[in-house]
Amino acid sequence: MFEITLLLILLTCICQIVYTTITIGISPMPSSLKACQTMYEVSLQSKCKTIIDVGSGFGFLAIYFAFKYKDKKVIGYETSLFPWIVSMMLKKICRCDNLSFYRKNYLTIDLPNDCLFICYLFPAGMLLLEEKLKDSTTIVISNTFSFKTKKTKQIIKVNDLYKTPIYVY
């Protein structure tokens, strides 16, 4: 009976991820450790007291930043249920008091103008974020994907197998 219950829970999680992947257009994808480190190094230039991870997925990038910046508030927004639950559990396990996760679509809320945005989205998500932030002067650090029209301040190639680009706006 235990095996069947566990199998049903796992199947439910997989179905939820597949459903959200189809509706959003991409599955949750964690940032590599090297990409996290590079994004953190770039973020040291910012004086912002709040860091927002839009599309936080399983929360790895937000947790990494929360560990590195004990004195800053880190917020993650994720719409997919299962990755959000995992990120909430990891937050509790890691005891990150400066970290909050919200199961909300960052496109439907008012985002502050005085914070640092970090993300690992996808091309369509970057277009939507660019439109949302079109009049904003906030700093955005993006893993792998760039804005379509906004000019980058810096592009850094991560020293990894894929030479992952990190875009700074």
Q: Which residues contact 130 (CB under 8 A, 6 or more apart)?
A: 147, 148, 149, 150
- 3 pLDDT band, cuts 50/70/90, is confident
List the Cα angle 114/51/46 in 5-degree steps: 65
- 16 pLDDT band, cuts 50/70/90, is confident
- 46 pLDDT band, cuts 50/70/90, is very high
Q: What are phi and psi of 3, to 5 degrees?
A: -65, -40
The DSSP secondary structure of 60-118, one letter per residue, reads HHHHHHHHH-TTSEEEEE---HHHHHHHHHHHHHHT-TTEEEE-S-GGGSPPPSSSEEE
Would you say residue 33 has pLDDT above 80? yes
Report how far residue 152's alpha carbon sits from residue 150's, in angstroms, rounded to the nearest whole number.
Answer: 6
Percent of the chain with pLDDT over 70: 99
Task: Give residue 17's pLDDT.
Answer: 76
**Is residue 139 helix, strand or coil?**
strand
pTM for this one?
0.88
Domain ranges of the chain: 2-168
Of the candidate CATH numbers 3.40.50.150, 3.40.50.720, 3.10.129.10, 3.40.30.10, the domain formed by 2-168 belongs to 3.40.50.150
Task: Give residue 106's pLDDT.
Answer: 93
Task: Give residue 11's pLDDT.
Answer: 79
C-beta separation of 31 from 120 below 8 A: yes
- Read off the pLDDT of residues 124-146 as tens digits, 9 standing for 90 and up: 999 999 999 988 889 999 999 99
Q: What is the mean pLDDT of the chain?
A: 92
